[in-house]
Amino acid sequence: MTDKDASLLVPLVCPRCNGDIEAPSPSRIGLCLNCKTARFMREPSGEYRLVFIEAKKQEGTSNLIYAPFWRVEGSGAVRTDDEKKLRVYQNARPLGPLYIPAFWTPKAANYENITMRYALAPDAIAEDAGATGNVLAGVLNPMNLREIAVLCYLAYLDRLADVTGVEASFTVDEVAYAAVPFLKVGAGWKDGILGLQFPGPYFWGSGPSNMSSQSM
Ligand SMILES: [Zn+2]
């Protein structure tokens, strides 16, 4: 599907509050900043809570943008005949919510890294009910999230003990659309929660159009 096709399916008005729906190309996810909801445009009846995450590493708001993530809350389960491995997995620190990048990035290898870092630091991440702002284009289909969550969970287990022959599943309790603050640092980016550094271009697509010093 092209972006043009997708944009034809976007409702212009929020079915919930009659507010404007914003979905600047190439976004496939429409946002209502009024009632804070997100919808995947191919399936606009599916509604997700839009949450803004508090910026803890804030150094002036002029260089702050919000990058969208699907926040998947739930729990993983694992099955293996290897009892030793099973014990290792069962004693592992449970993962917090999985923040799965919904934006385009040339740094696909960082996906797992940032998702895992957030999942291991759930107490560092708080919602900011008062925050609002421009959210970069989101493109990831939420229908794939459970599969991606299983892969994240397996990647986590694999750090503890090799997951060859191990089966994992993931039960999703809630999916929300989370706007995570990022700060421009030179030619790169730093996330506004843990201060993780991403040198060089990190965001593809529309990019942060409201910033003067773009590196894309
Ligand atoms: Zn609305």
CA of 30 to the centre of ligand 1 (A): 10
In this prediction the pTM is: 0.87
Cα separation, 175 vs 97, whole angstroms: 9
Q: Which residue has the higher pLDDT, 63 or 19?
A: 19
The CA 42 to ligand 1 mean position distance, Å, reads 18
Distance 85 CA to ligand 1 centre (A): 47
pLDDT tens for residues 112-124?
Answer: 689 999 999 999 9
Contact (Cβ atoms closer than 8 angstroms) between residue 161 and residue 175? no
Q: How far is the CA of 179 from the centre of ligand 1 (A)?
A: 16
What is the Å distance from ligand 1's center to 160 Cα? 43
Continuous H helices in 27-98 = 83-90
Residue 148's pLDDT is 93
d(CA 31, ligand 1 centre) in Å: 8
> Mind listing the pLDDT tens digit for each residue in 53-80?
998 876 665 678 899 999 999 999 999 9
- What's the CA-to-centroid distance between 72 and ligand 1, angstroms? 22
User: Which of these, 30, 207, 54, 184, lies nearest to 132 by C-alpha position?
Assistant: 54
The amino acid occupying position 127 is: E
pLDDT digits (tens, 9 = 90+) for 131-181: 998 899 999 999 999 999 999 999 999 999 999 999 999 999 999 999 999
Per-residue confidence (pLDDT) for residue 1, from 0 to 100: 45
Predicted confidence band at 192 (pLDDT cuts at 50, 70, 90)?
very high
Give buried/exposed letters for 61-75 (b at 16+ CB in 10 A, else e).
eebbbbbbbbbbebe
Is residue 198 a contact partner of residue 209, using CB atoms and an 8 Å limit?
A: no
Taking the centre of ligand 1 as the mean of its atom positions, its distance from the CA of residue 125, in whole angstroms, is: 25
Q: Where are the beta strands (DSSP E) in the chain?
A: 29-32, 37-40, 48-52, 64-79, 98-101, 167-185, 188-191, 197-198
Distance CA 19, CA 72 (A): 26
Q: What's the 140 CA to ligand 1 centre distance in angstroms? A: 21
How does residue 204 score in pLDDT terms, banded at 50, 70 and 90?
A: low
